Amino acid sequence: MSGGSWALPKARKAGPPYFSRNQVSKSLHQMAVLLELDGANIFRTRSYQNGSRLIGTLSQDLGELVESGEIFELKGIGKGLGNAISNAVSDGVWPDDWVDLHTNTPAGLIEMLGIPGVGPKKIKFLHDELGVLSVADLKEVCTKNEVSPLKGFGKKSQQKILDGIELLARFSARRRLDVGLRYGQTFLSMISALDGVERAELAGSARRRKETIGDLDIVAAVQPRDVERVTQEILSLNGIADVKGAGDSKVSVILDTSIFEEGFSLGHLDSKVLEAIGGESYEQMESSGTIDAQVRLVPPHVFAYTLAYFTGSKEHNIRMRQAAQNKGLKLNEFGLMPETELTGLEAAATSLPALTEKEIYKHLDLQYVTPELREDMGEIEASASNTLPELITLSGLQGALHNHTTLSDGAASLAEMADAARRIGWNWLGIADHSPSLVVANGASAEDLLAQYDTIQQYNKEWKDSGIDFRLFSGVESDILEDGKLDHPDDVLAQIDYVVASVHAMSRWKGRDESQNTEDLLTCLDHPATTVLGHPTGRILQGRDGYEIDLHAILEHMSQANKEGQLKAVELNASPYRLDLDWRLCKRAKELGVPVFINPDAHSVKGLGDIEYGVMVGRKGWLEKSDVMNYLTHQELAMRLGV
């Protein structure tokens, strides 16, 4: 995505072969695109494109083909390309004209390639006609309506370009937690496996389980004598699209999806969610996306300090430094030491020893703070007074309440979802299919809902009779309608086990002000049938903001209801696209005594796995076992639901 990833790869020190098959294939592809941007003739462009495909799908070893000269016998590799590839692989140098083209192509033109639906041909044309040299230029001429009159364009394609620019901006800024973690954990395990890496950990926002990740930070413990070799080995790992810098203790790279051996796919996605994030264009961007990563190589004895520092957050670090100062000590990424004239690793020689982060906290008379909590949201105070929460864990969960089946827009049947829940080891599962107003999600009629209720009772009886300790709960995800009304007659709602009430008509709710939205939600919550407030803000991460709503007022209202003996719970929607309730407000719900349901909102068997992200965010929001309804057994939950 970023301009940086368009440089030609640097030769491996260990060569020949100086470049891998993938690197050669990718460079040929880039040349084809740059030639097209440059207006080269189509035959030339095509020969590079074909060469890229051919090399990319070779079953033989490229180094051997070059050495034996067989490369020239491959159909589709002419003399020119054959020479270029041979020189690169055996001497480590790219042809001058390749280097020139890379250097001379304006970075802005390459940046524009990231806009969905805008290819090299269009960019060249817009550059020639309107002098467009960057994404910013392109946005300007579109806004000024200068693109739509051009031949081959029009109002519609002009708007599509504008939408694409917006999408690119959103996409380039940060990645969702699930995506960031997939890159991070894959890269981490590759680094951990290198000879000479004694320990390695993910740091930064990924370790703190923030809902979105800016870039990845990894800390590795390496003996000074091994640093240079390990650095080179990291640089030759798969999945590195470009190297931004490599010093003696830090490697900065850009990773792309070639890091995933099994490929990269989004999986089953709710169509409404896909639409909100930008549809197929977004899917494509995700599968050709990149993420920046920094690896710090430090001597093993300072590892814990460096890990703590780069785990952050910055705010937490500031508080930690103050705690050190209060003891007359200085804390940084190298150690915890008396004030000294020395700096860096030399100063570290005077540090108090710490092999683990726990020991660092101990030196400061603090209880160990788990990374999720390091946001300066009260954890330092709690740590000092030994009152940190005992956070929930994935294995403690017994079930989840909000899931879909084929009765509405799910991909799996009731029986399949129940089987899957039992395989996970859950004790119960709640089914809450969509209500009739949500036509796009195939909302089920009252009749179908009650039929599903009957089937569920049958299943429950069969399990009970055969001594299986598992139960389904029969609910509905009711759309919240005009004036905060629910979507089924009261007598229907009274028959089923529970109601998850959620807003789906986003355009209506986004068109109104906070007080009106809040009022309608309060009305809906006061309905005796409403048990759970589903995805409270409707936000889609990196997709759309939620509607305006005073969640503090809502949570306070729910708090009161719970005090009066009613069950009014809030959902922490675990889909990595939502993570809604936000973790900052989970803590508030806990303080107010509003129970939380962590719900995968699964639309398939695989979707149940999203519960994992809900647990991460619940931990980040300070949730303990007693705050989370998922910890109840089905007998306990039945009592709370009064069924």
- Paired strand residues for 119: none
Cβ atoms of 295 and 234 within 8 Å: the answer is yes
Residue 60 — φ and ψ, nearest 5°?
Answer: -85, 165
Give me the DSSP letters along 266-293.
--S--HHHHHHHTHHHHHHHHHT-EEEE
Q: Is there binding between residue 314 and ligand DGT (CB under 6 A)?
A: yes
- Amino acid present at 182: R
CB-nearer residue toward Zn ion: 306 or 502: 502
Q: How far is the CB of 531 from Zn ion (least distance, A)?
A: 15
CB-nearer residue toward ligand DGT: 217 or 372: 217
Residues 6+ apart with CB under 8 A from 488: 435, 436, 446, 449, 476, 478
d(CA 603, CA 270): 7
CB-nearer residue toward Zn ion: 174 or 535: 535
Query: What one-character DSSP code corresponds to residue 624?
Result: B
Cβ atoms of 159 and 181 within 8 Å: the answer is no
Report what 517 binds from Zn ion, Ca ion, ligand DGT, none; CB cut-off 5-8 Å by kind. none
Size of interface with ligand DGT, in residues (CB under 6 A):
14
CB-nearer residue toward Ca ion: 215 or 610: 215
Report what 502 binds from Ca ion, ligand DGT, Zn ion, none; CB cut-off 5-8 Å by kind. Zn ion
Looking at 105-248, list the stretches that DSSP marks H as alpha helix, in order from N- to C-terminal side. Answer: 107-112, 120-130, 135-143, 155-173, 177-192, 204-207, 227-235
Within 10 angstroms of residue 586's Cβ, the number of other Cβ atoms is 24
Q: Which of 281, 317, 408, 573 binds ligand DGT (CB under 6 A)?
A: 317
Q: How far is the CB of 320 from Ca ion (least distance, A)?
A: 18
- Paired strand residues for 295: 218, 251
Q: How far is the CB of 314 from ligand DGT (least distance, A)?
A: 4
H or E element, residue 65:
helix 62-68
Cβ atoms of 539 and 499 within 8 Å: the answer is no
Selection from 379, 436, 443 nearest residue 405 by Cα: 443
Q: Is there binding between residue 310 and ligand DGT (CB under 6 A)?
A: yes
Residue 476 — φ and ψ, nearest 5°?
Answer: -145, 145
d(CA 331, CA 325): 8
CB-nearer residue toward ligand DGT: 215 or 582: 215
Selection from 361, 168, 181, 340 nearest residue 255 by Cα: 181
Residue 597 — φ and ψ, nearest 5°?
Answer: -105, 120
CB-nearer residue toward ligand DGT: 209 or 404: 209
Q: Going residue by residue from 260 to 299, which x/- string records binding to ligand DGT, judged by CB under 6 A? A: ----------------------------------------
CA dihedral 28, 34, 38, 42 (to 10 degrees): 40
Placement of tokens 């693109």 in the chain: 147
Q: How far is the CB of 510 from Ca ion (least distance, A)?
A: 31
Q: How far is the CB of 548 from ligand DGT (least distance, A)?
A: 26
Query: What one-character DSSP code corresponds to residue 391?
Result: B
Selection from 120, 114, 214, 122 nearest residue 164 by Cα: 114
CB-nearer residue toward Ca ion: 201 or 217: 217
Give me the DSSP letters along 158-183.
HHHHHHHHHHHHHHHH-EEHHHHHHH
Q: How far is the CB of 172 from ligand DGT (least distance, A)?
A: 13
Q: How far is the CB of 145 from ligand DGT (least distance, A)?
A: 36
Report what 318 binds from Ca ion, Zn ion, ligand DGT, none; CB cut-off 5-8 Å by kind. ligand DGT
Size of interface with Ca ion, in residues (CB under 5 A):
3
CB-nearer residue toward Zn ion: 296 or 404: 404
CB-nearer residue toward Zn ion: 25 or 502: 502
Report what 314 binds from Zn ion, ligand DGT, Ca ion, none; CB cut-off 5-8 Å by kind. ligand DGT
Cβ atoms of 584 and 555 within 8 Å: the answer is no
Stretch 256-275 residues interacting with Ca ion (CB under 5 A): none
Report what 313 binds from Zn ion, Ca ion, ligand DGT, none; CB cut-off 5-8 Å by kind. ligand DGT
Cβ atoms of 599 and 400 within 8 Å: the answer is yes
d(CA 451, CA 251): 60
CB-nearer residue toward Ca ion: 201 or 215: 215
d(CA 191, CA 297): 11
Q: How far is the CB of 415 from Zn ion (least distance, A)?
A: 23
Selection from 293, 290, 294, 292 nearest residue 1 by Cα: 290
Q: How far is the CB of 432 from Zn ion (least distance, A)?
A: 9
CB-nearer residue toward Ca ion: 35 or 202: 202
Cβ atoms of 222 and 197 within 8 Å: the answer is yes
Size of interface with Zn ion, in residues (CB under 5 A):
1
Stretch 469-528 residues interacting with Zn ion (CB under 5 A): 502
Q: How far is the CB of 212 from Ca ion (least distance, A)?
A: 11
Q: How far is the CB of 609 from Zn ion (least distance, A)?
A: 18
Q: How far is the CB of 218 from ligand DGT (least distance, A)?
A: 11
Stretch 198-227 residues interacting with ligand DGT (CB under 6 A): 204-205, 210, 213-215, 217
Q: How far is the CB of 295 from Ca ion (least distance, A)?
A: 12
Report what 1 binds from Zn ion, ligand DGT, Ca ion, none; CB cut-off 5-8 Å by kind. none
Q: Is there binding between residue 312 and ligand DGT (CB under 6 A)?
A: yes
CB-nearer residue toward Zn ion: 398 or 502: 502
- Paired strand residues for 432: 475
CB-nearer residue toward Zn ion: 427 or 502: 502
Stretch 530-569 residues interacting with ligand DGT (CB under 6 A): none
Selection from 233, 258, 180 nearest residue 21 by Cα: 258
CA distances from 631 to 475, 532, 615 (A): 19, 16, 12
- Paired strand residues for 246: 251
Q: Going residue by residue from 196 to 225, which x/- string records binding to Ca ion, judged by CB under 5 A? A: --------x----------x-x--------
Instruction: Give the residue closest to ligand DGT by C-beta.
Output: 312
CB-nearer residue toward ligand DGT: 50 or 313: 313
Question: Binding residues for Ca ion, per CB under 5 A?
Answer: 204, 215, 217
Question: Binding residues for Zn ion, per CB under 5 A?
Answer: 502
Question: Binding residues for ligand DGT, per CB under 6 A?
Answer: 204-205, 210, 213-215, 217, 309-310, 312-314, 317-318
